[in-house]
Homo-oligomer: A and B are copies of this chain.
Amino acid sequence: MNTRPSAFSGTLAAVALSDLRTSKPLVHCLTNDVVQSFTANVLLALHASPAMVVDAAEAAQFSPIADAVLINVGTLTQPQADAMLAAVHAANLAGKPWVLDPVAVGGLSLRTEFCRQLLRLTPAAIRGNASEILALSGLTSTGRGVDSGDDSLSALPAAYALARETGAIVAVTGEIDYVTDGERSVAVAGGDALMTRVVGTGCALSAVVAAFVSLPGDRLHNVAAACRVMSCAGELACRTARGPGSFIPAFLDNLWLLQADALEQEVQP
């Protein structure tokens, strides 16, 4: 990268959210066992529709009907990898975008080899934390498990490289989220540390990225809008939450109720 990422415009986020609520995309989610319900509820709160179809033959039948596909390797097994490949190939044939969430990629063999295979299949977007984006780009990482040991800014060069290699929009998320297409980049601030004490906020963000990449318009902006919508609802939820338990319903309510003016209050990264 040659320039400091610019702050993403809240107005653009509000326009994209409005588009999403109108188009109500159907997102085919092939995701991990832990976050299925939360992921579905996040999409529903945004007026999108989730569908989890997991048999390989059915996944290939369903992807072309969906508006976007999410591939999350958090609890990958070989049968699931087979279904994911079938879904991705069918989505590509039908011209439907798909998004990769490379959970905990790096040290674990099945998912790491599988993610490298997926990178050659033209993902529309990749969303990971700093450790995951570093690992996926072939650079080193200090991460252990699903939590990132790295700062998101430190992974921005890796995100640029990965975007150029794959053609995907790459979002490296953390305290600040950075989104790049390999040429341009934007920074999305906001959110709250409490969001890391609830399982699935990152995984659900990837599903929301999938919903947003199905929209027309500048895909870099659409992915950044997904990040801003989630961080903004998280901020609002933290104003009333006593802890991570009450955060969950408050977060879903705020996704449901989210208004343009909240998104347009710029947060300086």
Chain B residues, Cβ within 8 Å of A108: 53, 55, 58, 61-62
* A257 contacts the other chain (CB 8 A): yes
Q: Which of A237-252 contact B (CB under 8 A)?
A: 241-246, 248-252
Q: Does B251 contact A44, Cβ atoms closer than 8 Å?
A: no
Please, which residues of chain B bring their CB within 8 A of the CB of A35? 37
Interface flag for A118 (CB, 8 Å) = no
Residue A147 interfacial (CB < 8 Å): yes
Flag whether A230 is at the interface (Cβ < 8 A). no
- CA gap between A34 and B29 in the complex, in Å: 11
A45 at the interface (CB under 8 A from B): yes
Binding-face segment, A12-20, A125-133, A196-204 = A196-204
Interface membership of A134, Cβ < 8 A = no
Which chain B residue shows the least CB distance to A250? B245
Task: Identify which of B50, B65, B197 contacts A45 (C-beta below 8 A).
Answer: B197
B34 and A52 contacting across the interface, CB-CB below 8 Å: yes
CB distance from A27 to the nearest CB of B (A): 10
0 or 1 for each of A244-267: is its CB under 8 Å from B? (1 = yes): 111011111111110000000000
- Oligomeric state, in copies: 3
Instruction: Please name the residue on chain B nearest to A40 by beta carbon.
Output: B199
Q: Does A116 contact B (CB under 8 A)?
A: no
Which of B33, B198, B257 sits near A41, CB closer than 8 Å? B198
Q: Does A87 contact B (CB under 8 A)?
A: no
A-B contact pairs, 28 of them (CB 8 A): A26-B144, A33-B52, A34-B36, A35-B37, A40-B200, A41-B198, A44-B198, A45-B243, A45-B245, A49-B146, A50-B199, A51-B146, A52-B74, A54-B76, A61-B108, A61-B109, A65-B107, A65-B144, A77-B79, A241-B253, A242-B257, A243-B257, A244-B256, A245-B249, A245-B250, A245-B253, A248-B249, A248-B252
